[in-house]
Amino acid sequence: VSIEDAHRHNDLGLLERFTGTTVMLGMVDIASTKLESVEEIRSRLLDALRHIDASRLMAAPDCGLVMLDRQLAVAKLRHLVAAASSV
């Protein structure tokens, strides 16, 4: 299951409904040139982990990054990886 969450945050309680399913949760907004901080992403991941086991959660961009220039897309992915690695 893939859930876009960066553009508009969802009620993370919905993650509890996906028992036995891996969930890709969008952590970076692909429609914005704002670079999310590692701490912003990390905080949202920690919130999500209160509702789903880490073994079933995948941090991801909301969708593809084709709308962003390469430098910003790479920076967003680096922040995503750093945040995911820290939890």
* Chain segment 30-86, per-residue pLDDT in tens: 999 999 999 999 999 999 999 999 999 999 999 888 889 999 999 999 999 999 999
Q: What is the pLDDT of residue 79?
A: 98
Q: How far is CA 42 from the centre of its chain?
A: 9
Domain residue spans of the chain: 2-85
Q: Mark 1-29 as b/e (b = at least 16 C-beta within 10 Å).
A: eebbbbeeeeebeebeeeeeeebbbbbbb
Whether the model pTM is above 0.85: yes
Q: What pLDDT does 30 receive?
A: 92
Residue range 16-45, pLDDT digits in tens:
999 999 999 999 999 999 999 999 999 999
